[in-house]
Amino acid sequence: MAISSALWSFALVVGLLTLTPGLDTALVLRTSALGRRRRAWGVVLGIQTGTLVWGSFTSLGVTALLTASHLAYTALRWIGAAYLIWMRVRMLRDTFRGLPTAVAEDPPPGGGEESISGGWRQGTLTNLLNPKMGAFYVAVLPQFIPAGTDLFTMGLLLTAVHILIGLLWSAVLIGFARILQGWLRKPHARRLLDRITGTVIGAFGIRLALSN
């Protein structure tokens, strides 16, 4: 398989994966729809940081060891599930109390750069605590590395393709979310969005906890 062919084929696979609605999409949409564009980009950068870490570790063979160890994989799976469920509880709690909504680790008003760093932490943790990302890279990445190429270099190149597609799709999501901002100025609309997003995040957490 030629390098260019491998890159295009991998781009098709991860492109379809990126377009499939999931946890990352819910987080980016919710954050940007509430008018926190700087924090939303922090979430995006955090998600892509996690992708870079998984891609690098896979290229080094570390995640292969993780998936081969049932105990390590199970521990990371439960930690990730607990984190997602904790995010859900934090997100839904205030909506049922009639208080202003806030996501876990939301910065105070006027936080400036803190909104970016808070979003980055949230996006990075969400990605790194999802062992299925590691399992996906272990299963898929080696299939697109042509024979005779350097494993680590080609692995990073493929990961860069995934990151680029993720950044482009996130830009589309953040741009689309601006349309919702007028509607979300209404308190009941913000509560509805948080309940929907919190339910989605909680569902991913429960699914992760119960998966094999």
Q: Which helix (H) or strand (E) holds 138?
A: helix 131-140
Q: Is 18 within a domain?
A: no
| CB 99, CB 17: distance < 8 Å | no
Per-residue DSSP letter, 106: P
The reported pTM is 0.74
Q: Is 7 within a domain?
A: yes
Residue 142 CB coordination number (10 Å): 15
Our count of domains for the chain comes to 1
Residue 71 CB coordination number (10 Å): 7
Instruction: For the chain, give the mean pLDDT.
Output: 79
Per-residue DSSP letter, 142: G
Say how many CA atoms lie within 13 Å of 134 toward its Cβ.
23
Q: Which of 37-51, 67-81, 93-107, 162-176 has the lowest mean pLDDT?
A: 93-107
User: Which value, to the nearest 10 degrees, does the dihedral of the CA atoms of residues 159, 88, 186, 36 take?
Assistant: -30
The more confident residue out of 131 and 98 is 131
Q: Is 134 within a domain?
A: yes
Q: Is 107 within a domain?
A: no
Which residue range forms the structural domain that includes residue 179?
3-11+25-102+113-210
**Separation in Å, CA 139 to CA 17, 144, 195:** 14, 10, 34
pLDDT tens across 134-164, in order?
A: 878 887 888 888 888 888 899 999 999 999 9
Q: Is 108 within a domain?
A: no
